[in-house]
Amino acid sequence: MDETTDPELTSWVDVPPGSHFPIQNLPFGVAARSDGKHFITSAIGNHVLDLSELERRGVFSTTPLAGKNVFQSASLNQFMALGRDSWKAVRATVSHLLQADNPAIRDNGELRESALVSASEVQMVMPVEIGDYTDFYSSKEHATNVGTMFRGADNALMPNWLHLPVAYHGRASSVVVSGTPIHRPSGQTLPEGAEAPQFGESRVLDFELEMGFFIGPPGELGEPISVSDAADHIFGMVLVNDWSARDIQKWEYQPLGPFLAKNFGTTISPWIVTMEALEPFSCAGPEQTPEPLPHLRSEGKRTFDIELEVQLSPEGSDATTISRGNFNTLYWDICQQLAHHTVTGCNVRTGDLLASGTISGSAPVSRGSMLELTWMGKEPLKLSDGEERKFLQDGDSVTMTGWCEGDGYRVGFGKCAGTILPANEV
């Protein structure tokens, strides 16, 4: 076991019960102070630790980061590119500084004042400069549900689905951080029974419960990354909401797949939870039948036991929990996804985001989209305030969260939230 994930570790910083950010987590993010200054940070309880300040004071001078000044940037890309040895060295240093018996920051009032900041005094911003974004379709239950709705149960899965991780290239420019509002998109749709399309705002707006991972060290053009080597290129994970306009998608997607139906906004959580923090919660994924071809065979515990939850809040009303699932239900794991993405020699770059696709389980409550939860609008959801929803309305807020449950502590991702605003005029 990595000593930084020891369940017995405690911090001199107060960590409230149920916090997503105990000393065993130590995620990475970028925060903005009230003066607009951005700084790279980690989270502990209800506080953030300014890693740029610690770097200026020489805290990382005995690590592989010595002299590199990677934390003086406004994004994590430089740090992410350094690789696992550097990530682990920084994690070990930060863990040591925050442990209950270490006085280095605890008893240094001036340093504690400058480096440890209340989370309520900062705003979390986009942590990574994202170059490319790929969205997979890796949940068998989700693919089966959607296929059943549109093609019937006998033809639910397409012939390729059990043989490779299906995906499409998304739009990185519209990936936004939690809290950013999303305007309802407009586009062409074909109303039921109509012979010609019409243009207007989407009437069938949806969320998609997903998780994503960021690329650290890049791949070289022409050189595939194998399943066994994939983990060395994965920096950490975030929650993802890949908003979806179902009516626009239904009309446009054949033969090339999603385009305008998904390019208007994708929300991620601001904290990147490292693979080291997730390692204690690794577990086996679903059995894969038929066995994948050799280049996609994944061995050992390649997925993680991450509880997931979605809440919907109409404007001015309380939240209703509408979905509860788990990341470990995904059929294709993240190492298989990365190996498949690069098998042609496609080069991934530091900061690239790869998302899982909608995560759904076998129970109705674990379905990860409104499309499934309401079965294409035929079974409306009843909310706590008495309202019903078939799909998202203007003013609705969707909040996703996820965590791993340890012995007396949680390693969590915080929140991935967004509110639907009315469509802009076209």
3-state SS, residue 348: coil
Q: How far is residue 101's CA from residue 84's CA, in Å, rounded to a whole number?
A: 27
Distance set, CA 77 to CA 40, 334, 412, 416 (Å): 11, 20, 22, 21
pTM, two decimals, is 0.97
Region 290-303 average pLDDT: 96
* Nearest Cα residue to 30 out of 47, 50, 9: 50
Least Cα distance to 179 among 32, 383, 25 occurs for 32
Reported as a single tens digit per residue, the pLDDT across 42-55 is: 999 999 999 999 99
SS3 assignment, position 167: strand
User: What is the rounded average pLDDT for all residues in the chain?
Assistant: 97
* Residue 207: predicted pLDDT: 98
Ordered DSSP codes for 267-305: EE-S-BEEHHHHGGGEE-----SSPPPGGG---S--EE-
In this prediction, residue 361 has a pLDDT band, given cuts at 50, 70 and 90, of very high
Confidence of residue 138 (pLDDT cuts 50, 70, 90): very high
* Domain edge (last residue) among 71, 93, 125: 125
**Same domain membership, residue 145 and residue 8:** no
20: number of Cβ within 10 Å: 23
Q: Are strands 28-32 and 123-125 parallel, antiparallel or unpaired?
A: antiparallel
Report whether 322 contacts 311 (CB < 8 A). Answer: yes
Looking at the structure, tell me whether residues 345 and 240 fall in a common domain: yes
123: left (phi over 0), alpha (psi -120 to 50) or beta: beta
Q: Which helix (H) or strand (E) holds 337?
A: helix 334-342
Q: Are residues 141 and 107 in the same domain?
A: no
Tens of pLDDT, residues 61-106: 999 999 999 999 999 999 999 999 999 999 999 999 999 999 999 9
Residue 426 falls within a domain, yes or no? no
- Picking from 101, 125, 149, the residue at the C-terminal end of a domain is 125
Do residue 101 and residue 176 come from a single domain?
A: no
Domain that holds residue 82: 3-125
Q: Annotated catalytic residue: which of 142, 233, 340, 341?
A: 142
> Cβ of 61: how many Cβ atoms within 10 Å?
10
C-alpha–C-alpha distance, residues 185 and 206, integer Å: 11
pLDDT at 118 over 90: yes
Beta strands at 266-268 and 175-177: parallel, antiparallel or unpaired: parallel
Q: What is the CATH number of the domain that holds 181?
A: 3.90.850.10
What Rg value do the Cα atoms of the chain yield, rounded? Answer: 22
Same domain for 197 and 87: no
Annotated catalytic, 142?
yes
Token pair of 250 as six digits: 């239904």
**pLDDT above 90 for 333:** yes
Total count of domains within the chain: 2
Are 313 and 284 contained in the same domain? yes
The reply to whether 157 and 109 lie within a common domain is no
